[in-house]
Amino acid sequence: MVFRVPIPKHSPFTLHNIPFGVISTESNPQKRCAIAIGDYALDLPLYLERILLLPSDHRRRRRHRLDEMFGRVFSEPSLNSFAAFPWSQRRDIRNHLIEAISEGSVPESCFVPMDQVRMHLPLRIGGYADFFCSLEHCQNCSIMTGGTKDNFHHSPMVYNGRASSVVASPTPVRRPNGVTWDTGKGSGEKPVYGASKKMDFELEMGYFVSKPVEFGDTMSIEDAREHIFGFVLLNDWSSRDIQAFEMPPLGPFHSKGFGTSISPWVVTLDALQPFACSPKHDHSATEFEHLRWKDRAVGTFDIRLRASLIRNGERHRITSSNMRWLYWTPYQQLAHHASAGCGLETGDLLGSGTISGDNEGELGCLFEATMDGANEMELKGGGKLGYLEDGDEIVLEGWCGEGEERVGFGECRGVLLPATC
């Protein structure tokens, strides 16, 4: 009965990870919850069903710990109900799964090879807010935003994105049509309507709300951990010429809303805790009380990030970064979001904003890396990269730690389709 699931050497999905997602398969097209381990998805409703068929001593033990607590939540087509459970109970189920997989007590039939699995959005997303919290990104984007504003240093900057156009990797995204200034630079030029000519990606992380905050209430930053379910990679696809047209004065709309990609496996806060670290920027002395995270040493996470381009079958690494570089951390972002009484709902998605650094090759989008397309990047084996071409694919990766203790996010992929005529 013992089955040891193989975990390849560089797998993002080790026993230290156990990320949650929503799958379907050809033989069972119903969406349902799963975890990732090695090159397999573990079908959670199937597992719950099978362990009830085990010999009775096993059954009693498992039944008490799983069936009672999680009932049918894993048969739902999203992780919202699971994410709404208290942190301690979510931790219990994750610990149980780690133990059961380690001891080999999960029936082999519950594992589905990853290449036979179709991934879906992990949660039903009610609201999506995208932040602008990397000082380096902010400074590098000055030509688009009119310089780093005074407000940046006092409070996280954020706008509402479009929740209904967030898609799970590897769903393709289509180049939008829109009104732009003729050469895409700015006001004063002739307005034209057509396909965007300045297609970009943005290297971000996203995180999902677990415990809600009621409309009209606020949340203390000290409780922020209780309200975060877990993290994903997030590609905030952007159209820079539409953005330059539409930004003043209301901010981005179509330049971002035509599609946002996320990686499908949600890495829990528990899996990330061993990689807690201090943020690079220290502005704790001037922070408002409601944004102050007491223990700077564990104020954010050391998550290494990378973006690659696949063009004509060739994969080119184009940037790397680290979530530590963010000027305002996710805990501070969440505290800011909750501060005005708008409420937070289980399943709300928050985007970290583009994460740029100040080391070589740490520019989180093409607008920065190419100076709005003026300085094209040289691709290995010839070819140049300014803005994205139709058919280009962007792949984001992220991971903490190494070897058997690696906690990875897998990939967030998306191909850019040509605009409709």
Antiparallel, parallel or unpaired: β 40-43 and 32-37 = antiparallel
Q: Does the protein bind a second copy through residue 182 (CB under 8 A)? A: no
116 CA to centre of own chain: 23
The interface mask with a second copy, positions 290-319, x = CB under 8 A, is x-----------------------------
- Does 290 qualify as catalytic in the annotation? no
CB of 255 to a second copy, least distance (A): 8
> Of 160, 269, 270, which is closest to residue 209 (Cα–Cα)?
269
Asked whether 97 and 225 are in contact (CB, 8 A), the reply is no
Residue 382 CB contacts under 8 Å (≥ 6 apart), including other chains: none
Tell me which of 137, 227, 336, 337 is the catalytic residue.
137
> Which pair of tokens denotes residue 385?
């990269």
Longest alpha-carbon distance in the chain: 77
Q: Does the protein bind a second copy through residue 159 (CB under 8 A)? A: yes
CB of 270 to a second copy, least distance (A): 27
Give dist(CA 208, CA 222) in Å, integer: 17
The interface mask with a second copy, positions 269-288, x = CB under 8 A, is -------------------x
Q: Does the protein bind a second copy through residue 247 (CB under 8 A)? A: yes
Q: Does the protein bind a second copy through residue 163 (CB under 8 A)? A: yes
- Contact segment (CB under 8 A) with a second copy among 1-9, 169-177, 265-273, 393-401 equals 169-177
Asked whether 352 and 337 are in contact (CB, 8 A), the reply is no
- Contact segment (CB under 8 A) with a second copy among 37-45, 52-60, 188-196, 308-316 equals 188-196
CB of 205 to a second copy, least distance (A): 18
> Of 218, 224, 223, 258, which is closest to residue 240 (Cα–Cα)?
258
SS3 call for 262: strand
> Which pair of tokens denotes residue 222?
């000290």
DSSP summary character for residue 385: E
- Contact segment (CB under 8 A) with a second copy among 56-64, 146-154, 228-236, 354-362 equals 146-154
Residues touching a second copy: how many (CB under 8 A)? 62
Q: Does the protein bind a second copy through residue 155 (CB under 8 A)? A: yes
Among 107, 127, 383, 386, binds a second copy (CB under 8 A): 127
Among 145, 238, 263, 370, binds a second copy (CB under 8 A): 145
243 is an annotated ligand-binding site residue: yes
Query: What's the angle, vertex CA 220, arms to CA 216 and CA 221, rounded to 5?
Result: 130
**Annotated binding-site positions for Mg(2+):** 236, 256, 260
